[in-house]
């Protein structure tokens, strides 16, 4: 089975490998796993004051397709708004890298990872509803 | 004489009705390996791995007992014993041998056995191609172990990680035994998933140790 040049390039020269400070309020962290193969993927985004993703890092322990999928996603999300980044679909990742059918789940993992990172960032910035949602006394 | 369909159904046998022998067309009791009339070898019955070994579905199995049954059955159906028989019987003996190998592979492996039991209980462990897990505790543990492995510089560091993980797997097996014994399938499913991650880690660490060359 021949892997595409783009896939091999991302696997051999992965972009944006590393970690951002998980505790930073501007950083959202997504941690997801593929139960079928025991792979684990961490994807982090750093969001600027203008709501644009200014940096993204990943750390993936898994097969080449999982590494390439997460590497590609970190490149794609930079410069995007959270909504734009959240609209990335695994099918686009799979198509760009020409993933073979047995590796489609790696692109699903990458989509879930960016969604989880966005959700984590939003949770950090959500108004503290638990504290302020006291019913108003009429 | 063949048992009635009803009583076989009550035992949960996959083929409740007698089959016709492929060779003499006579009735063959459900699950019977040989035709009572012409002694021709029948294809393997579609039964679960436990039943194939005449065991009740359970997590706690003695490996020695599984092996004993496996070797006894393999002797009975081994293709060598059917070398002089018809092409159909030779094919059936190969099918029997394959089914026995598959069953042994699952029953002898605590992780696969746990996942198989969950599947039989109608609660398949997460593991579909398009499924992802987001259990933070499990993933943080898996990520931390992988990072430690990536940073391990010599064989002894990898060996220490392997020993630690093997000990964790031992604890998971004990916990699985308890979860299945008490019928807590949700707990068993969680443990099986953690087991799968640990198994993957052991594979990676073993590969790493080979690379380091010790």
Instruction: Answer yes or no: do A105 and B129 touch at CB < 8 A.
Output: yes
Other Cβ atoms closer than 10 A to B29: 18
Residues A111, A93 contacting (CB under 8 angstroms): yes
Helix (H) / strand (E) containing A23: none
Could you tell me the CA-to-CA distances from A35 to A41, A61, A62, A107, B167 in Å, in that order? Answer: 12, 13, 11, 14, 21
B146 contact residues in A (CB cutoff 8 A) = 40, 61
Task: DSSP for B56-115, please give it.
Answer: -S-S---HHHHHHHHHHHHHHH-GGGGTTS-HHHHHHHHHHHHHHHHHHHHHT-HHHHHH
Structure tokens at A110: 């990458």
Structure tokens at A96: 């760009």
pLDDT digits (tens, 9 = 90+) for B127-166: 555 567 768 889 999 999 999 999 998 999 999 999 999 9
A42 contact residues in B (CB cutoff 8 A) = 143
**Model confidence band, residue A91 (pLDDT cutoffs 50, 70, 90):** very high
- φ, ψ at A34 (rounded to 5°): -105, 105
Whether B12 shows a pLDDT value over 60: the answer reads no
CA distance A7 to chain B (A): 20
Q: What ipTM was reported for this prediction?
A: 0.78
Residues B136, B127 contacting (CB under 8 angstroms): no
Instruction: Answer yes or no: do B199 and A40 touch at CB < 8 A.
Output: no
């Amino acid at each position: 089975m021949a892997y595409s040049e783009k896939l091999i390039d991302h696997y051999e020269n992965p972009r944006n490998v590393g970690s951002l400070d998980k505790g930073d309020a501007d950083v959202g962290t997504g941690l997801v796993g593929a139960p079928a193969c025991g792979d684990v993927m961490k994807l982090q985004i750093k969001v600027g004051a203008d709501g644009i993703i200014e940096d993204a890092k990943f750390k993936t322990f898994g097969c080449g397709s999982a590494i390439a999928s997460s590497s590609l996603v970190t490149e794609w999300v930079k410069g995007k708004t959270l909504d734009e980044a959240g609209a990335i679909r695994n099918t686009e990742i799979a198509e760009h890298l020409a993933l073979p059918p047995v590796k489609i789940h790696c692109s699903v993992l990458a989509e879930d990872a960016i969604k989880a990172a966005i959700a984590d960032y939003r949770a950090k910035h959500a108004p503290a509803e638990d504290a302020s949602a006291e019913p108003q006394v009429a | 004489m063949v048992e009635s369909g009803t009583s076989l159904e009550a035992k949960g046998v996959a083929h409740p009705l007698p089959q016709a022998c492929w060779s003499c067309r006579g009735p063959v009791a459900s699950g019977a390996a040989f035709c009572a009339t012409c002694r021709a070898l029948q294809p393997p019955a579609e039964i679960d791995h436990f039943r194939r070994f005449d065991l009740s579905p359970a997590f706690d199995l003695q490996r020695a007992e599984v092996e004993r049954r496996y070797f006894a059955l393999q002797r009975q159906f081994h293709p060598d014993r059917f070398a002089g028989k018809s092409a159909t019987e030779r094919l059936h003996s190969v099918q029997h041998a394959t089914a026995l190998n598959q069953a042994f592979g699952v029953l002898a492996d605590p992780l696969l056995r746990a996942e198989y039991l969950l599947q039989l209980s109608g609660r398949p462990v997460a593991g579909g191609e398009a499924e992802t897990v987001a259990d933070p505790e499990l993933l943080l543990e898996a990520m931390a172990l992988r990072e430690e492995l990536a940073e391990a510089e010599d064989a002894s560091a990898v060996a220490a990680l392997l020993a630690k993980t093997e000990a964790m797997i031992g604890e998971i097996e004990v916990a699985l035994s308890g979860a299945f014994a008490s019928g807590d399938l949700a707990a068993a499913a969680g443990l099986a998933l953690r087991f799968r991650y640990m198994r993957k880690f052991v594979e990676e660490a073993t590969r790493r140790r080979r690379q380091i060359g010790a």
